[in-house]
Structure 1
Amino acid sequence: MNNTPHAAPPAAAPRLKVLQWNAQGLRPKKHQVLQAIFEEDLDVVLLQETLTPADFKWRIAGYSLHSLPATEGTRGCVTLVRSAIPHRRITDPAHCGDGVEALAVELHMGGLDLTLYNLYRSQRHQLEAGELLTMASHTSLLVAGDFNAHHPILQSVSATKPGRVVPTCC
């Protein structure tokens, strides 16, 4: 019989199922989003180019909706978070560049705080990631969205200037 004390196994990191999708117009695709949410048992959904107005309302049982409306010159973002996950919207997100749309939410999961950034960068705007990189040095951070960055590592045929930055971030 071995009487050697055993250390408790480390607590498993919380798991999070996330979908990121450039919807290119949410209204006609709401059923696809709902299908993905329930078939995949998603915790968070990050949508870009939703084209949703400021008065957009969408109630999904068990989820909280955070919306950045499409206004003149912008395309809009929506973040859905499972209501059972304690979270709050960050009302003053980091500056990610002029014209870059940023919707930020902080999740509190089993002792871990995770900040999510849902971004949309059109081809005519420049992403400025300095504040996000600084934040990542001391905060658990997930940045997702449509960066309009193309590179073979992302299964594009060629690389664009913004896409050439991608391999340095991975």
Structure 2
Amino acid sequence: MAYLGIGCGVLLAVVFGWSTASRLRSRRAFGEFAGSLTPLVRRTGAVAVLLTVVEALVPPLLLVAPAWGFGLATGLLAVLAAGVLLVVRRRLDVRCRCFGNGSARLGVRHVVRNLLLFLVAGTGLLAALSAGAAPPVDGPGVLLSAGAAAILATFVVHLDDLVELWA
């Protein structure tokens, strides 16, 4: 269970770290993200700042207080999945700004992606809560689970690019 928790933590840390970095790389990138929230909320600037701060907290929390990090990620992913689902159900033309200035419209695949990440966060939370009973971990196992998670996170981050490539 410890390796599963490590893998879940690395996957989420990479995804949330990448998302945060993509928004904070420039004023324009952050403005585009805030603008994408316009159909859903009134105070887009405040909500954009709040979402970015919460996302930025996830990776360090996963490192120093895994249960708190997984809990925060689980809650945030539930909110994000609900927001994307609302966009899809209302058939709004909102571009995915999850990992930068993407051109893909938010759609069902984004809802599914967020729900799968929600499951990863929930699994990580269960692993973190049962960590006291876990056997010790070894270096190769940690590297294998962390490496596999980093590769999987790269696929998550570039989902829209991969869909566009194969479409």
Q: Same fold (TM over 0.5)?
A: no
Query: What TM-score do the two structures reach when normalised by structure 2?
Result: 0.24
1 or 2 for the larger relative contact order (CA 8 Å, sep ≥6)?
2
